[in-house]
A and B are shown apart, each in its own frame.
Chain A
């Protein structure tokens, strides 16, 4: 019996070329999308699960939510937290560990290589038990500067992996380059980890003795803190211990109680300061919501994006399934006679249904085969887009194979059940005697509803794609407020003493028109936050703005050299910018022990003027701020100018109130303006100058335009993925409509013939058919517009700078017209073909 089902199934698939073709293509595209997305999701959700005891490891994140200030979020924590929590919650914590990421330079054979170094507590491997290739965790960190490296690093520097006992010279954790002995070699980490581990150094607290903000601090957040929990403890239990400690036993109780304004009577430490654990295996996908704008050890995943793509892929598969249901029932009249005859000959309804189900499952399995081929074909492209190394290893991965097989059988049954029930329902007499195909009104209505659903889904996807793309394009065209053309950014952090000679040599290049230093270049972020106090205006001043109490605000500050604003064509809206001629602008550290207050000039942006409670830029000029910008003592800072709000950081972030100082010890970036089209020649000249001035340090040189583009590269990837998958959805939906139109036209041949005999012209017939298929598309638009608009308006909320909501209207209308056009193009050809036939053909069709 089963064999009979298979044979009929196969014959029917072969016989009905159009039906099978549309369904196999649609289902294959659906499966392909689902498999591709699944591979990506599996990779994203599998981050760090391979680490031993990963379910027992958690990281401590910090959030400061002082009333009246924007919340400060970070996945880092303060240096003293690890020990404090480990010792306090000794029943819950098995071990704890801190990690500091530090970009240093490896010096080897007279060459310099930039590397990300990871300094870790000796307990690192107790918490994160990474597999060793050579050596083991007990022999690794025993003396200062013990170094554990990965196989990749070993191969890079030694050409082999068995390198225990060798040394590497690193510059410069201390004043001088340090020679470090390799005590262990780690197996290369899989790509699926949030860790960015190449070189692990046994953390030496002495290194940071002079910089209390790294380790010896309760508030500065510069380390990553991990705990391994006892097997009997849950993260929630440890979290509640931490909260209890913070509210009752921690030093924060005292400091916050002293901080006037931050605490109202009766509130707790955890109201303004949270130390939150997050499971190791959640870090990749969920750390983003805790990360503020400081980022993580490695690029973070985006949970929302994953959810979005899972939805899109499922929709494509669903649309393909609907195609199957629609076409199978539309075709019912074709097969009604067959069903009737089978029943007359003794088949039960169940047997007939079974036959149709096996046809559906067979079709789905064939589609699965095609989709696997397609996945293999498109994986390289997909990997390139996502920057991954995903692969489909069906045979070495029985679980995946099983998932795919059961998944497709479920899809087959899901898509085939309704048609099977529908087709097997016919009473034989009804089919064999009546002249019509046994089509009831109900099934046509359901089919129309499904077409409406398909089109509504596709239209929503198109609108979303257009908005996502639009926002990305828009982001690229925003006026950031400065001139970014023809700028190179050279990282001069390693050039400490040589800045002036470097600058001079760069200026000697004919292509270079200016070189100015700054703490950050545009697009680079920082967290230089200080408290600034606006000194009240003296009461006798002839101004209405005399304020009684000093205004204190935490503001972010940048350091820029003379000529910085000129180079970026930023003109002050009040006052002036830094000018060497005045001789008073520079901020210099006062000698230790000197109680004199230093003076310097500052420039504010408009937001800072507002934040400090001044009504307009003009009134700010001449006022004075006070701040301890150097750790010893205070500076009085005269406001000499106000500049417009420029997007110094990525436009993804709001413009923050900022203060610009001229503080040379903070200079890290050289902003080079050039005037040549031959940029390769220029960059190689700059490289030579760098090599001559700063030997043994790698060069970091980038075009500002590229740095700006890099800010949007994630969005561009998302937009590309989104548009590709929505395009697929639309193609599959249109194919379904095409098939439906073809079958409907065929089913209605007789009707069309009669209409023509009655005098209908080709155009009447085409209109009739097109209108039949335009109705569902129009309804789909009415359903889709509000849903898409709502979804996109809330998505856009995330961007401080976003597409105007009004744009949604033309996008919706255009998409609606497009959907109609596509439907007409799909249906029109069929309709015209049928309408052109001579009526005799139609009438003989019976």
Chain B
């Protein structure tokens, strides 16, 4: 599905240059469930952002499906992004001014889908994640677990081939965290590729493969037996 070759990312701030990713080589196949782990600041989020095309790499190649996207412009990336990738963030990133329903619908809004179909799909996915009774609420009125479920619903409603999750359980207690992981597992079982950053080894166990990052390098890759 995607392949990173000698990929690096530098951040230039004032006088220091931070190397967030250094010659990373990763290949992820369709239908995989991959966990990314590592200490804080090692570059996990940066890696995920680049995989998700929210940011450009500084060096190296990024082959996504049939395209070499490393040099693509923001608007070219936006088109690929919206066709193939869904996101779940640690801090949910819901829009405060919109209701739960509207937040989820946002993922379909820019896809030329008729309003009636959008409504249908949103309702379906809300049932699936168990948030339908809060459809008209605003994110500020929900608990953290409920907000994360909305974020998951938003990520899956578009039926994208790949979901990127950056610490999707970071703000949740273990029970809620478990719930989200079960949702991701079920999605993966249906064929969705999932790449997830996590600090929790227990949650990493849901994945078939774990990539360990340290200081911008891939140090180990563990593949669990199926």
- Which residues of A come within 8 Å of B, CB atoms? 434-436, 750-751, 753-762, 764, 836, 838-840, 843, 846
Contacts and interface: CB of A to CB of B under 8 A. Distances in A.
Given A436-B140, A838-B54, A838-B74, A758 B96 contact: no
A434 B78 contact: no
B96 A759 contact: no
Interface of B: 49, 52, 54-56, 74-75, 78-79, 81-82, 87, 89, 91, 93-97, 106-107, 109-111, 139-140, 154, 158
B81 A757 contact: yes
Given A838-B54, A838-B56, A843 B75 contact: no
Given A758-B82, A840-B49, A750 B93 contact: yes
Contacts of B54: 757, 838-840, 843
A840 B74 CA distance: 11
Nearest to B104: A758
Nearest to A843: B93
Nearest to B83: A759
Contact of B107 (A434, A758, A764, A843): A758
Given A435-B91, A764-B110, A843-B93, A756 B78 contact: yes
Given A758-B110, A759-B111, A838-B54, A751 B97 contact: yes
B78 A759 contact: yes
A98 B154 CA distance: 91
Given A758-B106, A836-B74, 15 more contacts: A434-B140, A435-B91, A751-B97, A754-B94, A754-B106, A755-B95, A755-B110, A757-B81, A758-B107, A758-B110, A758-B154, A759-B109, A759-B158, A761-B78, A840-B54
A262 B133 CA distance: 87
A770 B55 CA distance: 26
A759 B140 contact: no
Given A838-B54, A840-B49, A751 B95 contact: yes
Given A761-B75, A761-B78, A836-B74, A755 B106 contact: yes
B136 to A, nearest CB: 15
A755 B78 CA distance: 11
A839 B106 CA distance: 15
Contacts of A840: 49, 54-55
B83 to A, nearest CB: 8
18 contacts: A434-B140, A435-B139, A751-B95, A751-B97, A754-B93, A754-B95, A755-B95, A755-B110, A757-B54, A758-B109, A759-B111, A759-B158, A761-B79, A761-B110, A838-B54, A838-B55, A840-B49, A843-B93
A434 B140 CA distance: 7
Contacts of A759: 78, 81-82, 107, 109-111, 158
Contacts of A760: 78, 109-110
A275 to B, nearest CB: 71
Contacts of B75: 761-762
Contacts of A756: 78
A262 B78 CA distance: 88
Nearest to A752: B95
Contacts of B55: 838, 840
Contacts of B49: 840
**Chain B CB within 10 Å — which of A759, A761, A838, A839 has the most?**
A759
B150 to A, nearest CB: 12
A436 B96 contact: yes
Contacts of A755: 95, 106, 110
Nearest to B97: A751
Top-3 shortest CB links A-B: A759-B82, A759-B110, A436-B96
A436 B89 CA distance: 16
A802 B211 CA distance: 82
Nearest to B92: A435
Contacts of B79: 761
A843 B74 contact: no
Contacts of B81: 757, 759
Nearest to A759: B82
Contacts of B93: 750, 753-754, 757, 843
A754 B95 CA distance: 8
Contacts of B89: 843
A750 B139 CA distance: 14
Contacts of A843: 54, 89, 93
Nearest to B151: A754
Contacts of A846: 91
B112 to A, nearest CB: 10
Contacts of A435: 91, 96, 139-140
Nearest to B106: A758
A376 to B, nearest CB: 43
A181 B92 CA distance: 99
Contacts of B139: 435
Contacts of A758: 82, 106-107, 109-110, 154
A759 B86 CA distance: 10
B159 to A, nearest CB: 13
B72 to A, nearest CB: 12
Nearest to A839: B54
Nearest to B50: A840
A843 B87 CA distance: 12
Contacts of B74: 762, 836, 838
B154 to A, nearest CB: 7
B165 to A, nearest CB: 13
Contacts of B111: 759
A434 B96 CA distance: 10
A183 B90 CA distance: 99
A21 B81 CA distance: 39
Nearest to B49: A840
Contacts of A836: 74
Nearest to A841: B55
Contacts of B97: 751
Nearest to B52: A757
A750 B54 CA distance: 13
A756 B106 CA distance: 10
Nearest to B160: A759
Nearest to A444: B97
Contacts of A434: 140
A756 B107 CA distance: 10
Contacts of B91: 435, 846
A764 to B, nearest CB: 6
A761 B154 CA distance: 18
